Structure 1
Amino acid sequence: MQKEIKIAIIEDDENLRFLVNHRLQKEGYKIIETGDGNQAVELILTELPDIVLLDWMLPGKEGSEICTTLRSKGFENIIIMMSAKSQDVDKIDAFHFGVSDYVSKPFNMDVLVAMLDSKVKYVVHGKEENNKFGDMEHHPNTHSLLRNNKKIELTILENRILLYFLNNRNKVISRDDLMMEVWGYNSDVNTRTLDMHIVRLRKKIEANPDRPDYLQTVRGVGYRFNEEL
């Protein structure tokens, strides 16, 4: 079934590019591609794909430079970073570079397809809903919170964590499930890394981060997003 959605694959590994191209075409997506960082910006600005799958390490230009250039030239569509190291995403300021989301390599092709289908449904087709809790509103597509008309920026990982909790309000979420959801099946992160991100997120959403109302610890299990205030 043709989805009428165009995806740009910017990846210098020819085998991976071929495999992703083949699978996404099978899923009904229209594909454009290049493995050259220098050609990427012109290709994207000419073809205007709905989604860009962008490798972070490329010959010619790095993904960060490509992303920054595209945003500066007014390209507002989704840019998903492909990174070989899951921790690298911690170093990437989503707002500074303009990255929409990321997938860590090696990735499961079914996971990638599910992610893209979700982006198409909620972002490309405009069905993304902003989640409200307390006096805040979460805007997942722009990695931000709005409180009293003031914008609070979230990192890519904080954004993913909060979205998962908001989609599973009042449920106890184990650390393992949360790490799988946020970092992916091949992740080599540990629970300390997760807990560090929870601490940072609490500083942005809680009136008193040391005594959280929303993002509560469930001892020995994980966390729960409490909305029954």
Structure 2
Amino acid sequence: MKLLVVEDDERIAEALAEDLTEQNYAVEVAYDGEAGWGLLQAFTYDLVLLDVMLPKMDGIELCQRLRAHGQSMPVLMLTARDTITDKVLGLDAGADDYVIKPCALEELSARIRALLRRGSTTAPPVLEWADLQLDPNTCEVTYQEQSLSLTPKEYSLLELFLRNQRRVFSRAQILEHLWAFEVLPEEDTVKAHIKGLRHKLKSAGASPDLIETVYGFGYRLKQDP
């Protein structure tokens, strides 16, 4: 899952990015509203963490512009101002939730997970495909109740497929979903991660083509698991 943090306080932004990255999210950061808007026009995100008080374009205007352009990803507002008026302004602008700074990272993470679940009405709390299970709350992956030890990118790759169970992803699309744009690797990196994930699934007893190659298009979960 790919998140955008728009926060002008570099200390807070870096702390959020570090914590969310440890939870297997791909995180990008913008330090003002205009930079955030530029990234939102260029890339696809699963959720936006948006500070209200931003230079160049404040969070309220950015959220309004986001919704006016038909973008529907969840928006979680962050603000140091704890008044009913500020909350109403944020929610009326199109935000899905509102958190007062400072807040516990555990609470923020739980709110993010709740919004991501809400954004996909078909996705249950535990993602399943035949005997394969992934729990986003604990980051635990099992096959036939056997725990799999995955790297962060292997976990994110598997989560992407499980949240989009009938979609084919090209290597370029996988890169866009799972890596920040500043560190985009070559497409062969995706091939290497697919290979590693297949090997670990096979070692746990899964079919070697549980993640199948759709030649000329990309990869997806095998449709008859």
Name the TM-score, length of structure 2 as normaliser.
Answer: 0.51
The root-mean-square deviation of aligned C-alpha atoms, in Å, is 1.7
What residue in structure 2 maps to residue 56 of structure 1? Answer: 52
Aligned to 1:34: 30
The 3 A distance-change label for structure 1 pair 90 and 10 is closer
**Matched residue of 1:9: which SS?**
strand
Superposition misfits of 4+ residues, deviation over 6 angstroms? none
Percent sequence identity over aligned pairs: 28
Cα offset, 1:16, TM superposition: 0.4
Structure 2 unaligned regions, length at least 5: 125-225
The answer (yes or no) to whether the contact 1:50–1:124 under 8 Å persists in 2 is: no
Asked whether 1:21 is paired with 2:27, we answer no
Q: Does 1:77 align with 2:73?
A: yes
Amino acid across the alignment from 2:26: K
SS at match of 1:18: helix
Secondary structure of the residue aligned to 1:7 is strand
Q: Which runs of 5+ in 1 are unaligned?
A: 129-229
Q: Which of the numbers 68, 77, 91 marks the counterpart of 1:94?
A: 91
Secondary structure of 1:92's counterpart equals helix
Q: Does the CA contact (< 8 Å) of 1:82 and 1:102 recur in 2?
A: yes
Shift of 1:122: 3.1
Which amino acid is 1:94 matched to?
L
- The answer to which structure, 1 or 2, has the higher relative contact order (CA under 8 A, 6+ apart) is 2
C-alpha contact 2:48 2:75 (8 A) present in aligned 1: yes
Residue 35 (structure 1) shift? 0.3
CA–CA distance in 1 between the matches of 2:90 and 2:73?
17
2:69 and 2:18 map into 1 onto residues whose CA distance is 30
Map 1:208-227; keep pairs closer than 5 Å. Answer: none
Count of residue pairs brought into register by the alignment: 123
Aligned AA for 1:47?
F
Kindly report which structure 2 residues correspond to 1:1-229, keeping only aligned pairs within 5 A, or say none: 5-87=1-83, 88-92=85-89, 94-95=91-92, 97-124=93-120, 126-127=122-123
In structure 1, C-alpha distance between the alignment counterparts of 2:79 and 2:90, rounded to whole Å: 14
Residue 92 of structure 1 and its aligned partner are, at CA, apart by: 1.3
